[in-house]
Amino acid sequence: MFGKTSTTEDVLSGVDLTSKRVLVTGVSSGLGVETARALAAHGAEVVGAARDLAKAEGALAQAGAKIDLVELDLASLASVRACADGLNATGKPFDIVIANAGIMATPPMKTSDGFEMQFGTNHLGHFTLINRIEPLIKDGGRVVMLSSAGHRFSDVNLDDPNFETTEYTPFGAYGRSKTANVLFAVEFDRRHKTRGVRATAVHPGGIQTELARHMTEEDLNTLIERMEARRAETGQEGFQYKSIPQGAATSVWAGAVANAEEVGGRYCEDCHVTTRVTDEAFDAASEGVRPYALDPDNAAALWAKSEEMVGERF
């Protein structure tokens, strides 16, 4: 019914979300703004989390989205915990949590807690936030983790998550963090599906957003040229960017439209659950999920390591 070119409005056509309350992280640009806008336009009460509230206010106003905002810096556990405490203090439950915020291909950097920046921001920040507000998620609720085809760059490395002994590469670190997003969904789903709370991971597709801010134009062109070459070798059509409404469609589909049993503990792209397990390299326009990203033992091990790193058990 829906596919690669479906937009948020296609997916939500005829859907009334007036009884739903949703948390979306990363609402200061790109997919987060569109995700929040689309859900609010269909009646949902949306709470948006962002590090830069002034930037978020401007972007949302330009998009015509009226939502509540909370401050959240995923690269600081103090900020994450303060955000979770504030949300818990209201006592207002959520039907859907969409972990949209993320960074990509940064130079070697550390979070304020000393974690490798991409793993710390994309995974550990969301890991701590979502687990801390888990009691607010209604029975039958949904958690959507934004992963990426970039998870195919690399599995998590639980022996050296901060690149202390292995050579740092921007996309290797990105791959680890995006694999972690899938594995978190797998384990969170296992732990909470008994009360109907299901978690899923999604790949939005290749979209021109601020996510690539740390890449030079030359780096980006080189990446696209490599993808084009691989696609030509296999007889596939050339790479094409998705629009932002197309990129956000899988997030709102997985959170508000798809069948819970269908998406729970799975990896989705182009508004459907991926059935293709692949060992192929990264390609933003091709389908497939690496086996290690859905491995339940890998997911359980990552959960334990993440608890150790943030100093909390959930």
> Is 112 an active-site residue?
no
Q: How far is CA 212 from the centre of its chain?
A: 15
- Which position among 6, 79, 148, 178 bears the catalytic label? 178
Is residue 67 within 8 A of residue 174, CB to CB? The reply is no
CA distances (Å), 73 to each of 45, 57, 83, 84, 98, in order?
22, 16, 9, 11, 16
Distance CA 242, CA 35 (A): 15
Indicate the DSSP class of residue 145: E
Distance CA 164, CA 183 (A): 22
- Which position among 174, 177, 286, 306 bears the catalytic label? 174
Distance CA 181, CA 177 (A): 6
Tell me the torsion sign for CA atoms 12, 14, 18, 20: negative
> Is 76 an active-site residue?
no
- Which position among 29, 147, 154, 286 bears the catalytic label? 147
> Is 193 an active-site residue?
no
Residue ranges with strand state E in 20-171: 21-25, 45-50, 68-71, 94-99, 137-146
Known catalytic residues are 147, 174, 178
